[in-house]
Amino acid sequence: MTETRIVRASREIAAPAAEVFELIADPAAQPSWDGNDNLAESAPGHRVRAVGEVFSTTLTAGAVRENHVVEFEEGRLIAWKPAEPGKDPIGQLWRWELAAAGEDRTTVTHTYDWTNLHDEKREVRARATTADKLTASIDRLATLAEKRA
């Protein structure tokens, strides 16, 4: 049996895409909605605006990750690949896609793709990143975005 290395979750949020996207594109906001409970903090003041940018995040275990933005379309799409500081990405991709679902409503799809991860030590954690955890992130994001909308 082939192992699925792409996990995805979707949900509609009662907030405009711009509100939702601001929470995703601001690394300092990410720990407040992280359903994996893996993010401790990210310095404020680095709102992502383009492919090629790198933002740092401190994990709950204390490690720092440099997240390389590899896909970006304002208000619609953002994706990054984490790396240890000063190194190439580890092999995972985190992607957020937003689509209008009516007036002031947004369908959010969150994808975790670890197809290119080939570090056995990291594969245990990758396998633990299930659709339920992605849904938890979307649910927390929804709570924050709907309060702001």
Domain residues of the chain, as ranges?
Answer: 6-148
What pLDDT was estimated at residue 3? Answer: 77
Alpha carbon 92 to its chain's center: 11
Q: Please compute the mean of the pLDDT values over residues 130-144 and round it to a whole number.
A: 97
Kind of pairing, strands 6-13 and 106-113? Answer: antiparallel
pLDDT band of 1, cuts 50, 70, 90: low
Superfamily name with CATH number, domain 6-148: START domain (3.30.530.20)
Which DSSP state fits 86?
A: T
77 pLDDT above the threshold of 90: yes
